[in-house]
């Protein structure tokens, strides 16, 4: 009797890598000549990453530095939820956060992709902020992983617990 093979679709971010990227970005902002005297800084306060500078362009440049550090550390930019620059007194700020877990609406989209395009034996079940995908055929599961990798979803997906 063949039992079902399964894997989980999750969206997790290594907090230590984010912290390392943030520290590298802080060092670069402190050292770069074009950020001198513009009040440019990047800080992490619990859940939010706060970028400050005296002009919108400088704030966006600091965000760009942080994004490049995340990419070098292997963290997808789909995990970064960067807000729009807004004026706060004499400075511009950008509030960003790191997204973890798959939101309910995204989980439904992923489940629909699996239902519509994956092999018919594959079933997806939403479990909190992750999806459990099961099938009798391991080959069908591999095909489903490749399908999800090539599909355009707004979250960074990882595939874990392949059994």
Summarize pLDDT for 4-18 with one digit per residue, the tens. Answer: 888 888 888 888 888
Say if residue 93 is in the same domain as residue 110: no
Same domain, 86 and 47: yes
Distance (Å, rounded) from C-alpha 41 to C-alpha 38?
9
Top-confidence range, 66-70, 133-137, 140-144: 66-70
Q: What is the mean pLDDT of residues 34-57?
A: 86
109 and 82 both lie in a single domain: no
What's the predicted TM-score (pTM) here? 0.81
**What b/e readout covers 66-104, taking b as 16+ CB neighbours within 10 angstroms?**
bbebbeebebeeebbebeebeeeeebbbbebebbeebee
Q: Can you give the residue range of the structural domain that contains 137?
A: 5-12+102-160
Residues 119 and 69 occupy one common structural domain: no
Cα dihedral sign for 22, 26, 31, 35?
Answer: positive
């Amino acid at each position: 009797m063949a039992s079902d093979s399964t894997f989980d679709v999750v969206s997790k971010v290594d907090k230590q890598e984010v912290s390392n990227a943030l520290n590298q970005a802080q060092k670069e902002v402190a050292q770069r000549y074009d950020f001198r005297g513009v009040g440019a800084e990047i800080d992490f306060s619990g859940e939010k990453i706060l970028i400050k500078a005296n002009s919108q362009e400088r704030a966006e440049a600091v965000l760009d530095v942080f994004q490049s550090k995340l990419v070098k550390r292997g963290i997808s930019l789909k995990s970064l939820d960067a807000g729009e620059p807004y004026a706060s007194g004499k400075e511009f700020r950008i509030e960003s956060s790191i997204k973890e877990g798959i939101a309910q609406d995204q989980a439904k989209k992923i489940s629909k992709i699996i239902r519509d395009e994956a092999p018919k034996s594959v079933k997806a079940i939403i479990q909190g902020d992750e999806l459990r995908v099961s099938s009798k055929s391991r080959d069908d599961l591999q095909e489903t992983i490749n399908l999800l990798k090539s599909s355009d979803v707004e979250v960074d997906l990882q595939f874990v617990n392949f059994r």
